[in-house]
Amino acid sequence: MAISSTQLLALAKRDTHWAICFVSIIIVAFYWIFIASDRYVSESNVVLESPQIAPLEMSFGSLFGGAGTNKSGDMLLLRDYLLSVDMMQIVNDTVGFREHYSNSKIDWLSRLPSDQVPLEELHEYYQSVISVELDDYSQVLRIKAQAFSPIVAQRISKLLITAGESYMNELGYRLAEEQVSFLEKQVDRLSKNFHSAKKSLIDYQNQYGLVSPAGTVEAIGFIVAELEGQLANLKARRVVLASFQSEDSPEVKRVNSEINALETQIAYEQSRMAEQSGNALNVKSAEYQTLELNMQFAQESYSGALAALQNTRIEAARQLKQVSVLQSPTLPEYPLEPRRGYNSVVFAVIAIFLALILHMVILIIKDHQD
C-alpha cells in the first residue's frame, strides 16, 4: 500500500531519524540538481607500440614468445606515471591546474578549497578528476580528464598522451644509452687487446723469420722420416754388399759414405727441432702457439662484443615506445558529470535504507523495554 505525503509527515514528526533522512535527501537532491557545477569529460583511448625490428638471430625462445616485450607491464608503468605527482606538476605548469579547479565560480564542494593547498591534497584531488584505466583484455589504456571547461578537459587529455609518450621513450633511451655506452667501452678495450695480441704474433714471426713454427716442425719431421727411410735402405744394401765384397771395396766405401752423410743430416735436422739451448723449433712452436691462442681469444672476444653491441643497438630501437591513439581526446559538447538524477536517487536509497535499519533497532529496543 502506498504511503501518502501526510503519513510521511506524520512519521517524520513522530520519529526524528526519519525527519533527518527526508531533510538530507531534499538537501542532497537540491545540491546535485541546482548547485553542483557542470564537469566536462574528455575521453581518449591509447595503446603502446614498439618498432617491428627483427633481431639478428632467431633463437628457440623467441619462437615461443620468450623474447617478447612485457606490453601489459609497460601499460601499467604508463598508467602509474599519468597518475603520479610528477605528471600532476606538468599539468599544473602547463594548464594551470590549481587556478582552474579552485575557481570561485565552482561550487564549494567540487572545487579545490584554495590554490595554495598542500601538494598531498592537490594530488588526491588530481586523482579524483583524472581517470586512467587499463583494459586487460584489449590492452587499451582509457584516459578520462574532468574539468569545468570543455577546452581545459581536452588540453589535459592531450597533455597526458604527449607527456606519457615522452616519459616511456625517456625510460627506453636511458636504459639503452647505459647498455650501449658500457658495450662501446668494452669493444674499445677488446679492440686494443686484439690488435696488441696480433702485433705480438707478427713481431714474433718477423723476429725468427718463421710464418708458422708448427708447420716448419712438421715439414722437418717429414724430411727426417724420408732421410731415415733412405738410411735404412742404404744399411740394408751395405749388409748385402758385405756378403760378397770386402770393406775396402769402392762400392762398400761409397755406401758407407752415404750412410754417414744421412746420419749427419738426420742429426742436424733433429737438433733443429729440439735443443737444450732453448732455441729449438719445438720451443718456438710452443711460444708461437701461445701467442696465436692469445690472438684468437682476443679476436673472438672482440667479435662477440661487436655482435653484442649491434644486438643492443637493435634492441634499444625496439624499446622505443609510440603511443598510438585509438580515440583522440574529445572536445565535450555537454557535461557528463555530475550525474544529477543518478546521484540523488542513490543517496535517497542509501539514506532510506539506513533510516530503516535505525528504525528497526529503535523498535527492538522499545520491545525489550516493555
For 266-313, what is each residue's pLDDT tens digit? Answer: 777 666 555 543 455 556 666 767 777 887 887 888 787 787 777 777
How many Å apart are CA 367 and CA 151, to the nearest integer? 61
For residue 192, pLDDT beyond 70: yes
User: pTM of the predicted model, to two decimals?
Assistant: 0.58
What average pLDDT does range 187-192 have in this prediction?
Answer: 79
Mean pLDDT value of segment 240-257: 74
The domain over range 184-314 is classified in CATH as 1.10.287: yes
107-140: pLDDT as tens digits: 888 888 888 889 999 999 999 999 999 988 888 9
pLDDT at 316 over 70: no
Q: What is the residue extent of each domain of the chain?
A: 14-57+69-174+320-369, 184-314
How far apart (Å, rounded) are the C-alpha atoms in residues 206 and 165? 60
For residue 2, the model assigns a pLDDT of 47
Where b means 16+ CB within 10 Å and e means fewer, 287-319 reads ebeebbebbeebbebbeebeeebeebeebbebb
Over range 320-347, report the average pLDDT.
84
CA atoms within 13 A on the CB side of 222: 6
The three grid cell numbers given for residue 220, joined into one nine-digit string:
722437418
Residues pairing with 337 in the sheet: 39
Mean pLDDT estimate for the chain: 77
What is the pLDDT at residue 277?
39
Rounded to a whole number of angstroms, the distance between the first and last alpha carbons of the chain is 29
Which one has a higher pLDDT value, 11 or 77?
A: 77
> Which of the given ranges, 8-12, 131-135, 180-184, 363-367, has the highest pLDDT on average?
131-135
What are the residues whose beta carbons fall under 8 Å from the beta carbon of 158, sequence distance 6 or more? 44, 329
